[in-house]
Structure 1
Amino acid sequence: MRSISQRELRNNSAEIMRGLARGESYRVTNRGVPVGVLRAEGRSELDDLMLRPGSQVMQFPRGVRRAQSTGDALDELRRDR
């Protein structure tokens, strides 16, 4: 989440509105002190966390290859029991 000053919000409101339309979020500060958060309508803080770059990187279990179908991967994992 990008921090912006009250002055930046006032002076660059059109650019910030376009950012909101793209789904960006902003923390607004007044003299360096956070006073509020602007985020796209319908988005929550959890949405922001889930959409953060790298948060959706899938870690495959040992021995599972990316090219496998889900069913094949599950069958292979069950055989290891």
Structure 2
Amino acid sequence: MRSISQRELRNDNAAIMRAVEAGESFTVTRRGVPVARVTPVPESDLRRVRPASPGHDVAALPRVTAATPSTEHLEDLRGDR
């Protein structure tokens, strides 16, 4: 497991993520003290992620109309500019 600094993780994020995808693991340090590990997610964990379920059909909801147009509210909020 390779050790990298927090600054290196920030500056070389894309390269480090590609290495993690390839199976490499990293220990992230801050001022030389280990604070985190970046490791690939095991295949078994990836299978637990379920696909997004179909949501509600927002287009089917009834339209709501305001009693007062929003332009009047905005003019009231702006006051005397």
How high is the TM-score relative to the length of structure 2?
A: 0.51
Q: Is 2:16 the partner of 1:16?
A: yes
Partner of 1:6: 6
Instruction: Quote the sequence identity (%).
Output: 58
- Distance across 1 between alignment mates of 2:31 and 2:42: 29
- Distance across 2 between alignment mates of 1:41 and 1:21: 9
Larger Rg: 2
* Residues 11-69 of structure 1, C-alpha deviations (whole Å, 9 max, x = no match): 000000000110000000000000010000017xxxxxxxxxxxxxxxxxxxxxxxxxx
Name stretches of at least 5 consecutive residues in structure 2 with no aligned partner: 44-81
Following TM superposition, where does structure 1 have runs of at least 4 consecutive aligned residues deviating by more than 3 angstroms? none
Partner of 1:35: 35
- Distance across 1 between alignment mates of 2:24 and 2:37: 11
- Distance across 2 between alignment mates of 1:42 and 1:10: 24
- Distance across 2 between alignment mates of 1:37 and 1:14: 16
| Structure 2 counterparts to residues 42-81 of structure 1, below 5 A | 42=42
Give the letter for the 2:41 counterpart: E
How high is the TM-score relative to the length of structure 1?
A: 0.51
Q: How many residues align?
A: 43
